[in-house]
Amino acid sequence: MKVIAFNGSPRRKWNTAILLSQALEGAASQGAETELIHLYDYNYKGCISCFACKLKGGKSYGRCAVKDDLKPFLEKAEQADVILIGSPIYFGAVTGEVRSFLERLMFPYLVYDANYSTLFNRKIATGFIYTMNVGESRMIDVGYDQLFKSTEMTMGRIFGTAEYLTATDTYQFDDYAKYEVTAFDEREKQKRHQEVFPKDCQKAFEMGSRLVQKISIL
C-alpha cells in the first residue's frame, strides 16, 4: 500500500505540511508506505495545451508528455493507492503550484467522449487538505467550499473517490507584531492554534487512516 502526499505550500514546516504529515502518520498506522513531496522544491509548469495526451495512437496518449521536474512525480502518483494534496488558500484559490500540478495530474486521464470518462484504470482514494487564514463562516460566505467541492467531484470522477478537510483561521506568523496585520487579534489566533489546530491534526490523522482502509472496498 503506497500513500503519496504533495505539499503545495511554500512552507515546508507550517500548517499545511504539518497536517499532511499527520495524515501520512495515520496512513502509516494502517501499514501503508508513505512519502511527502514538497512541490515548491521543483521547477514545472501547468498544462501547455499540447494535447499529446489526447492524440489517437500517440506515444503519450493518456499521459502528460511534458518532460520537466514534475514528470517523475506524476509517474509515482499513477502507482499510488492514495494521493493526498495539501494547499493553503491564496487569494481565494489553491497555490499556483497546486493548480499547475492538478492540471498535469488530471487532464491526461480525461477522455473527450460523451461521458467524459477516465483512462485511469483502477480506483484509488484521494484527499485534499486546505488551510486558510479566514474563519469557517467567512470561508462559506466567499464560496471557498464550492471550489473545494468542485475539485473533489472531479478527482473522484477520475480516480475513484475523493474527500477534503479544511483548517480555518490558521496561525500565520511567529510574531504578529512584525507585520501589518491589524485585522487579526494575535491572542485569539494563538489561542485557536493551541486549542483547535491539534484537533485539525487529529482529523488529518484520521483521514489518512480512513483513506487507506477505504482502498479495500473500492
Residue 60 CA to residue 115 CA, distance in Å, equals 22
Q: Residue 203 burial (CB < 10 Å; 0-12/13-18/19+)?
A: middle
* Overall number of domains in the chain: 1
Mean pLDDT of 201-216: 92
From 29-38, 122-131, 190-199, the region with the lowest mean pLDDT: 190-199
Mean pLDDT of 25-45: 95
97-128 pLDDT tens trace: 999 999 999 999 999 888 888 999 899 999 99
Which of 84, 107, 94, 73 is CA-nearest to residue 10?
A: 94
97, 6 Cβ separation under 8 angstroms: no
Cβ neighbours of 136 (radius 10 Å): 14
* pLDDT of 217 above 80: no
Domain of 70: which CATH number? 3.40.50.360
Domain around 20: 2-215
Residue 119 CA to residue 62 CA, distance in Å, equals 6
pLDDT of the residue at 218: 64
Residue 77 pLDDT grade (very low, low, confident, very high; cuts 50, 70, 90): very high
Residue 130 CA to residue 12 CA, distance in Å, equals 15
Mean pLDDT of 5-21: 94
pLDDT of the residue at 68: 94
Q: Round to the nearest angstrom and report the end-to-end CA distance of the chain.
A: 14
